[in-house]
Structure 1
Amino acid sequence: MSKLDTLKTNLQNVLGDKIQQLTCALDELTLIVKASDYLEVAKTLRGHADLKFEQLMDVAGLDYSAFGDGAYDGPRYAAVLHLLSISHNWRLRVRVFAPDDDLPVVPSVIDVWRSADWFEREAFDLLGIVFEGHPDLRRILTDYGFIGHPFRKDFPTSGYVEMRYDPEQKRVIYQPVTIEPREITPRVIREEHYAGLKH
């Protein structure tokens, strides 16, 4: 039995019906759990001797609204954990979908892995995912007065406002974006005519 098969079996034995989906692709396991089970599953993943995921490597936020060219029909926002077991030398991806698209909320895992702190703040800042129970959930990358969440698929590429230093007022000011949105279509180069060569 391979190491990946052992991990899969251990996850099935330990988590049972808490597993919504468990898939293997490209030699990686992805575990999907419900938001209501997420915190309990996180504690089990860290503490159970057959799993022992001592280290949280990353938390990423995802917006699935444009996934599959609009063919996807499911919850819009997800948080994804990347875990490492130093004891067993294996990795796991855990995905949890926020049940409400209008106000995406999932529990914070900061009490399970302290390293979740800034990762969850980043996902909150850029995607607006609220991590319930996080002790200091505030923006970490955008400006203090920033409005919106720039990694959401419906956020305009140019944003809504721009900031610049005004030498007359001697301070930074915000103003509506002055960049005109435009679509750039690249010129297509046909191979048979490339560099004047004919094949």
Structure 2
Amino acid sequence: MSAKLEALSQNLQAQFGDTLQSLKVALGEVTIEVAAADYLSVMKTLRDEPALGFEELTDLCGVDYSTYGDGAWQGKRFATVVHLLSLANNWRLRVRVFADDDAFPAVDTITEVWTSANWFERESFDLFGIAYVGHPDLRRILTDYGFIGHPFRKDFPISGHVEMRYDPDQARVIYQPVTIEPRENTPRIVREDTYGDAAHG
């Protein structure tokens, strides 16, 4: 582990102690996990504490762990993962928080800490159905307003539930149940016997 990652890990441990559910260093990055109840206060401290100094949020996304590890995952299903950057200290941090309720996943919004979280949280809400409590304008951002469900959840069908088409009789776009028959395509590969043989080009 580099001296910089070691210093960041020590600063995080000193600042948060038992509030951290886990702290891992892997592939040159530090990842911490916090409880949903501590999420907002931890994020404010990460921004405001000079020893940490994460003034920039670079990414926020939702994750559905229901099929993680080929379905061997045990634990809460939905998480929000945030990537932070400290320009002053020149280090990065990943923060993960799991929603307590799988049926209605929700965590606090961090738009009051970093305004750049606004559209990221809307995207996570739209695609994964994670609600961000206190968000000033939590509505869909990528799917249309009549869309049903959250398409990045692992149990959402690949073909969707409804399809949209233009109806010339009604002179408008209509929604109807999906008419696509599910099928499995198996690619066929045809190669010459000499494929990959340097002697035959």
Match in the other structure for 2:120: 119
The whole-number CA distance in structure 1 between the counterparts of 2:157 and 2:72 is: 22
Matches within 5 A, 1:43-62: 43-62=44-63
Q: Which residue, out of 186, 191, 195, partners 2:192?
A: 195
One-letter identity of the residue aligned with 1:152: R
Does residue 2 (structure 1) correspond to residue 7 (structure 2)? The answer is no
List alignment gaps of at least 5 residues for structure 2: none
> What code does the residue aligned with 2:147 have?
F
Q: Quick one: which amino acid aligns to residue 55 of structure 1?
A: E
Q: Distance in 1 between matches of 2:186 and 2:23?
A: 40
- 1:183 matches 2:184: yes
In structure 2, C-alpha distance between the alignment counterparts of 1:188 and 1:66, rounded to whole Å: 30
Distance 1:104 1:92 in 2: 23
3-state DSSP class of the match of 2:149?
A: coil
Asked if 1:150 is matched to 2:151, the reply is yes
Q: Map of 1:35-184 to 2, 5 A cutoff?
A: 35-184=36-185
Please list every run of 5 or more consecutive structure 1 residues that lacks an aligned counterpart in the other structure.
none
In structure 2, what is the equivalent of residue 20 of structure 1?
21
Q: Deviations over 1:129-159 (max 9, x none)?
A: 0000101100000010100000000000000
The one-letter code of the counterpart of 1:8 is S
Q: By how many angstroms is 1:188 displaced?
A: 6.2
What per-residue deviation string (whole Å, max 9, x for no partner) do you get for residues 71-105 of structure 1? 11010000000000011111000000001100001
- Give the TM-score of the pair, scaled to structure 2: 0.93
Report the residue type matching 1:150 in the other structure.
Answer: P
Q: Deviations over 1:164-186 (max 9, x none)?
A: 11222111100111111111223
The letter for the 1-side match of 2:54 is: F
Measure the CA separation in 2 of the matches of 1:188 and 1:95: 42
Partner of 1:20: helix, strand, or coil? Answer: strand
Q: Percent identity?
A: 63
Give the whole-Å Cα distance in 2 for the aligned partners of 1:131 and 1:97.
12
Q: Deviations over 1:111-137 (max 9, x none)?
A: 000000000000000000000010110
Aligned length: 195
Amino acid at match of 2:183: R
Q: Secondary structure at the match of 1:78?
A: strand
Q: Which amino acid aligns with 2:124?
A: A
